[in-house]
A and B are shown apart, each in its own frame.
Chain A
Amino acid sequence: MITLSKVSKWYPNFQVLKNCSTHIEKGEVVVVCGPSGSGKSTLIKCVNGLEPFQEGSITVAGISVNDPKTDLPKLRARIGMVFQHFELFPHLTVMRNLELAQIKVLGRKQGEAAAKGMRLLDRVGLSAHARKYPGELSGGQQQRVAIARALAMDPIAMLFDEPTSALDPEMINEVLDVMVALAKEGMTMMVVTHEMGFARRVAHRVVFMDRGEIVEDAPTAEFFGKPRSERAQLFLSKILQH
């Protein structure tokens, strides 16, 4: 479904991504973890072309992201993305946030988009808040709306960029619950997160990054059981000691 091969990216005086390759099958859940500044967020933003990269290639459902001839907006419409800071549109109601792209990008009718939006709001337990503005919701609620907004586009895969990092601890679970349910349904997911509990429970594979490189790419049990690289061992020992 998603294939990255030898992706490298440079900022003017610094290489953020070094030869990153991995593959995500349809229905697979892959967690990307690693210390801050290791390039995880940059990597996931390359997958739908939000960040350009200089070398290598990425394909999603057989379509090249880095080919200049690719209709990127059209491809992005099929890939859901959830951001660290939610990025709901603050000038629109919750319902309008869910409808807008369905209508303007997919060309759905207003009624159809509203029905779909309502179903998804219901699914994330927020149908009572449809008429509110994002600023009136808590962080956890906003992130659940953001997930619903991405799902409203009927995506073939979902990208999560540190979806719980900006949340207060008591709100993390309500968001993770939605993500777990999604994974159980067989959604193809690439998740950048520090939530190792989530990784253990639902990820099929864990990709560990450090300093722009994919250091380890292993099935979940193997990654947590006996990581091969020293850097992954060090990272796990720091993150799991509590």
Chain B
Amino acid sequence: MFADFDFEVIVRSLPYLFYDGMTFTLMLTALATCGGIFFGTLLAMMRLSGFAPLSLPAASYVNLMRSVPLVLVIFWFYFLVPFIGQWVTGASQPIQVGAFVSSLVTFTLFEAAYFAEIMRAGIQSIPRGQVGAAQALGMTYLQTMGYIVLPQAFRNMLPVLLTQTIVLFQDTSLVYVLSITDFLGAASKIAQRDGRLVEMYLFAALVYFVISFVASLLVRRLQRRVAIIR
């Protein structure tokens, strides 16, 4: 049944697919994960602060982001970020930030909402007594968070954080709507140019599957190793 297919096209385009495409995909995944966890942790702390001027905006932000399709957010930010940049810096022209920065900002802010919920669950999983013990030793709120609560929350939530990163890795393929050459974008361009849609999309799916599957196996192994003995 593969008689009419030309798998040569894959071999020919491997350098382009991986060097141009996959590099972008992995870079975007890694940076957006770091940014997302950073802002997500801040959002989670705000939301749990019990101080309405902090917790309400954080809760609204998280709920808004989680209720909107990612593709829409990508579009919005692509068109809005130049204007926001103009507004922030007071420049006379919209600031051209380029597709990479625009998509990085988008994914960071969007994923922050999901990471926030994970970190919120993580922080809440730490027994209240731990906070009491840290406070009784004279630690301030930030010390208690930084040395006692967050390290334990991260460890408890590491498997979930990594699983979310795998989802993020797959989601980055949506940047192809901005004509960016990520892995899927690269595959798509070759597919259109050479008229080999089925081959290229099959191959792209296979690559996403293998990477995600192997990553989730590693996560599962890690899960058993990092559990804190109580």
A interface, CB within 8 angstroms of B:
45, 48, 50, 73-81, 83, 85, 87-91, 100-101, 104-106, 133, 135-136, 149-150, 153
B136 adjacent to A89 (CB under 8 Å): no
Interface flag for B151 (CB, 8 Å): yes
**Residues of B in contact with A, size category:** 20 to 34
Return A142 CB to nearest CB of chain B, in Å.
11
B152 adjacent to A90 (CB under 8 Å): yes
29 A-B residue pairs with Cβ-Cβ distance under 8 Å, sorted by A, are A73-B135, A73-B139, A74-B138, A75-B138, A76-B135, A76-B136, A77-B138, A78-B138, A79-B136, A85-B127, A85-B129, A87-B130, A88-B133, A89-B152, A90-B230, A91-B151, A100-B147, A101-B134, A101-B137, A101-B139, A104-B139, A104-B147, A105-B137, A105-B143, A106-B138, A136-B229, A149-B137, A150-B136, A153-B137
Interface flag for B132 (CB, 8 Å): yes
Residue on A with the closest CB to B155? A91
For B138, B143, B228, B229, which residue has the most chain A Cβ atoms within 10 angstroms? B138
Return A102 CB to nearest CB of chain B, in Å.
9
Given A85-B129, A90-B229, A101-B137; 20 other pairs, CB 8 A cutoff: A50-B132, A50-B136, A79-B136, A83-B132, A87-B130, A89-B134, A90-B230, A91-B151, A91-B152, A91-B228, A100-B137, A101-B134, A101-B138, A105-B137, A105-B138, A105-B139, A135-B230, A150-B136, A150-B137, A153-B137
| CB-defined contacts of B134 to chain A, threshold 8 Å | 89, 101
Interface flag for B148 (CB, 8 Å): yes
How many angstroms from the CA of A216 to the CA of B151 in the assembled complex? 44
B148 adjacent to A89 (CB under 8 Å): yes
A135 adjacent to B229 (CB under 8 Å): yes
A133's partner among B127, B139, B229 (CB-CB below 8 A) is B229
Interface flag for B60 (CB, 8 Å): no
Question: With A90-B152, A90-B229 known to touch, is A83 a contact of B129 (CB < 8 Å)?
Answer: yes
Chain B interface, DSSP helix/strand/loop, else mixed: helix
Question: With A83-B129, A89-B130, A135-B228 known to touch, is A76 a contact of B152 (CB < 8 Å)?
Answer: no
Question: With A48-B136, A91-B155 known to touch, is A104 a contact of B129 (CB < 8 Å)?
Answer: no
A77 adjacent to B137 (CB under 8 Å): yes
Return A151 CB to nearest CB of chain B, in Å.
11
Residue on B with the closest CB to A149? B137
Interface flag for B140 (CB, 8 Å): yes
Residue on B with the closest CB to A78? B138
Return A138 CB to nearest CB of chain B, in Å.
13
B:26-69 near A, CB below 8 Å: none
How many angstroms from the CA of A100 to the CA of B134 in the assembled complex? 10
Return B125 CB to nearest CB of chain A, in Å.
12
How many angstroms from the CA of A46 to the CA of B133 in the assembled complex? 14
How many angstroms from the CA of A48 to the CA of B139 in the assembled complex? 13
For A50, A80, A90, A150, which residue has the most chain B Cβ atoms within 10 angstroms? A90
Return A68 CB to nearest CB of chain B, in Å.
15
| CB-defined contacts of A104 to chain B, threshold 8 Å | 139, 143, 147
B133's partner among A87, A133, A136 (CB-CB below 8 A) is A87
